[in-house]
Chain A
């Protein structure tokens, strides 16, 4: 079936413009994010619904550097399908960063309530802890508040657990 030739350029309706939200980081940088991507964050979702007039949302707890990456994460996850296999590989690359940055992501995901990013970040850290001795864990994460020798003994005594 052939469609009749369109007489004018506006014969088909224009595509709906995607609503963009602007986020402002703690250091004043601004980032645009599609509303659908912003909805990955429960915090932003609430703000959007309360603040329907304005499209500029300040995010005081997060620096521009981190916020840029978080926006990237949300956008990627919003456009990908649920069973997008390549998303797993993309996520793995996303968290292949130094520890400080990884914790920045986790804090950002916690503040903005992004369950997918929080889950990814926490699991990555947990995977780093697995298989390490207490000393190795302390060294990896630079944990300095160690237990006193008495506390160590107490914990050692408690720890005759079955699965070794």
Chain B
């Protein structure tokens, strides 16, 4: 309508050119624009005007923003000599620069509570919410969003092994298990109220200190039996469907393992929205990707000859046998490069085409030797802990 007016009054159209363009856009379009911003930029956007602040504060915006967000791996290092009361921290790899910055908000969990009595482990991450567990002196858990700096700590029986968004209803849920004489009893439930539902009894449980790989509403873990005994290869990966609250047990890719070894050197990792399995066999790292879940079809991505390719690097001077490669971990992949962790030696970028490696310096050596890392896929999000109700 103001088009016609501006034709009659040309000076008005010049005035229009001075107006706020955003006022002419419907809310959902403004939301579209703002949802493309990173969380730190949203902090600025909130201060621009009242309507932007109101839009960004809605639960709908949080969802839209989350859908656009890309995930990065967040790394929780485990140091060789862990002490109770250690101030743990998290960091995420920044591929474009050498310096890996710690996530400032993700402080040692529960530091307002009983930190000095606990050692915290990263259990996983869902929609930008990190979940931690402390084992001593009793089972305490914490969920925090490092962006909004909200955290909640609570005590509960059993071992939590999964944290996910259940689509119907749209609620965050925990998956936990308890050991019984007949096997492991699994429950799902929320935080408030904590109404737990039995979802099955199985002879297997997830391996410790390994986060689940969650893709398309399904969580995946490598499992072990009672007392940490190895499972048959046909039942080495446990899959939980968050939509149906159902479990199934699947075989790992590749050949069956010789019985003495088991698949203890085989691991799941979630990278860029897909599930991978990697295994260290002698001096090779074998990597598969799950191409199609319905048919459980795995495709071999590559074999890395660790001895040949790492040989050139000074870090391998201390290598005396193949077992020195055993604890290597695959963390992330990007643009034809893999990010690997080698216990006690550090982080390396491996270029798949040129088969060259570059060590990544983190400046963390003052904390001591890292024996392993726990990794989860993280997205910066505005999800509020109030949504856990």
Contacts A100-B21, A147-B47 given; indicate if A155 touches B53 (C-beta within 8 A). yes
Chain B residues, Cβ within 8 Å of A125: 33
CB pair A122 B106 closer than 8 Å: no
For A137, give its contact among B40, B44, B105 (CB under 8 Å): B44
Q: How many contacts A-B (CB < 8 Å)? A: 113
User: How many angstroms from the CA of A156 to the CA of B38 in the assembled complex?
Assistant: 18
Contacting chain A: which of B135-143, B144-152, B219-227?
B144-152
Q: Given A100-B16, A103-B21, verify A129-B29 contact (CB < 8 Å).
A: no
A23 to chain B, nearest CB (A): 16
- How many chain A residues sit at the interface, stated as a range, is 35 or more
- How many residues of B sit at the interface, in one of the four size bands? 35 or more
When the two chains form their complex, are residues B29 and A122 in contact, meaning their CB atoms are under 8 A apart?
A: yes
A146 and B20 CA atoms in complex are apart in Å by 12
Cα-based distance from A98 to B20 in the complex (angstroms): 13
B149 touches A160 (CB 8 A): yes
What 1/0 mask marks residues of chain A from 115 to 140 whose CB sits below 8 Å from any chain B CB? 00010001101100111111001100
Report the minimum CB–CB distance from B27 to chain A (whole Å).
11
Q: How far is the CA of A118 from the CA of B36 in the complex (A)?
A: 13
Whether the Cβ atoms of B34 and A133 lie closer than 8 Å is no
Contact residues, B4-43 vs A (CB, 8 A): 4, 7, 16-22, 24-26, 29, 32-34, 36-41, 43
A114–B36 Cα gap in the complex (Å)? Answer: 18
**Does residue B369 face the partner (Cβ distance < 8 Å to A)?**
no
Any A CB within 8 A of the CB of B281: no
| B3 and A141 within 8 A (CB) | no
Q: How far is the CA of A158 from the CA of B32 in the complex (A)?
A: 23
Q: 11 A-B Cβ contacts within 8 A?
A: A100-B16, A118-B29, A122-B29, A126-B36, A134-B45, A141-B20, A143-B22, A155-B47, A155-B53, A161-B43, A162-B146
